[in-house]
Amino acid sequence: MKVAVVGATGLVGSKMLQVLAERNFPVTELVPVASERSVGKEVEFKGNKYKVVSMADGIAAKPAVAIFSAGGSTSLEWAPKFAEAGITVIDNSSAWRMDPTKKLVVPEINADALTPEDKIIANPNCSTIQMVVALNPLHQKYKIKRIIVSTYQSVTGTGKKAVDQLNNERDGKEGEMAYKYQIDLNVIPQIDVFLDNGYTKEEMKMVNETKKIMRDDSIRVTATTVRIPVVGGHSESVNIEFENDFDLAEVKQLLSEAPGVVLQDDPSQQLYPMPLLAHEKDEVFVGRLRRDETQPNTLNMWIVSDNLRKGAATNAVQIAEYLQGKGLL
């Protein structure tokens, strides 16, 4: 199994190499691909060094699968070229997510939709992935009508420059700014650019991607996405209105049995999910489960996951694992 990682030198690309190694994906040959300025650099994988190659050389190497994490414009330009060469692309950017001809996949929910014809497969937004993994089993049982979500998102979602900004501010150093404002000791209620409706692009990603992944356009979603001074791990406060009433004990049972979910919900022991506990883990952690006492059939919950892993690299590798297991690679 020859595997290309496109954007291999970036924050998510590096995490993809780590996850591929940890999960023992059957890589017989690694093809690390990056922009021209990174060509010739070396990356390490399973104790071996590999030289980074250009996009064109990545295609010429004819890998079975190419996992992309190189930004939207790069994906729009290059993913079709890889696909035309018969290479299956799993793309982590926003480029293809809402394209009606492309599947948007979270393996626990909708991998069954994949076919041999799917040569460009979209990996959803990190904040959407963790939310739908937790909500899908409840949707199957009680049918979700409406979701109100507020996120508390790590600086790693922006990239290395943002991590550097936070660390510089903590150390009292001058440096390059990833954000318009200081992030240390602050909270920034803007992720991505503002759209004409007053929502940010990140907020509308959560709205639109949730419906597509869960295959239900009737679900109403409204989101507020917020950047906080945490390195690694997104958190979400989610209020879910169901069509049918639920039993809280049954909700906990469903979540404890759901694939990819870990229930951490014991107020008596002050047990609840936190980014610190989710760091470097692949699961989605759920807690603070309680009935919304202001209206019927409505649940409050708290969801935390490592955004570089399940929110990006792990989900992409899980898609590759599914394809490989089904003989689609």
What b/e string do you get for 298-322 counting C-beta neighbours within 10 Å, with b at 16 or more? bbebbbbbbbbbbbbbbbbbbbbbb
The structure tokens listed for 308 are 């570089």
**What pLDDT sits at residue 266?**
98
- Judge whether 10 is annotated as a binding position: yes
**What pLDDT sits at residue 171?**
98
pLDDT in tens, 4-51: 999 999 989 999 999 999 999 999 999 999 999 999 999 999 999 999
* Residue from 265, 299, 306 nearest 284 by CA: 306
- Judge whether 38 is annotated as a binding position: yes
- The answer for residues whose C-beta is within 8 angstroms of residue 178's C-beta and 6 or more apart is 155, 158, 159, 161, 162, 164, 165
State which fold the 127-307 domain adopts.
Answer: Dihydrodipicolinate Reductase; domain 2 (3.30.360)
**What pLDDT sits at residue 325?**
97
- Judge whether 309 is annotated as a binding position: no
Cα-based angle 49, 50, 52 (whole degrees, multiple of 5): 140
**What pLDDT sits at residue 278?**
97
CB 156 within 8 A of CB 149: no
- Judge whether 153 is annotated as a binding position: yes
Cα–Cα separations (whole angstroms), residue 147 to 3, 104, 223, 243, 313: 38, 20, 8, 12, 26
Q: What single-letter DSSP state applies at residue 188?
A: B
**What pLDDT sits at residue 115?**
96
- Judge whether 170 is annotated as a binding position: no
pTM, full prediction: 0.96
Cα–Cα separations (whole angstroms), residue 1 to 4, 30, 120, 261, 320: 10, 9, 18, 29, 11
**What pLDDT sits at residue 13?**
95
Q: Which residues of the chain have pLDDT under 70?
A: none
**What pLDDT sits at residue 230?**
97
Burial of 203 (0-12, 13-18, 19+ CB in 10 A): buried
Task: Output phi, psi for 136, to 5 deg.
Answer: -55, -45
State which fold the 2-124+312-325 domain adopts.
Answer: Rossmann fold (3.40.50)
**What pLDDT sits at residue 42?**
96
Domain boundaries, the chain: 2-124+312-325, 127-307
Q: Catalytic residues, which ones?
A: 126, 234
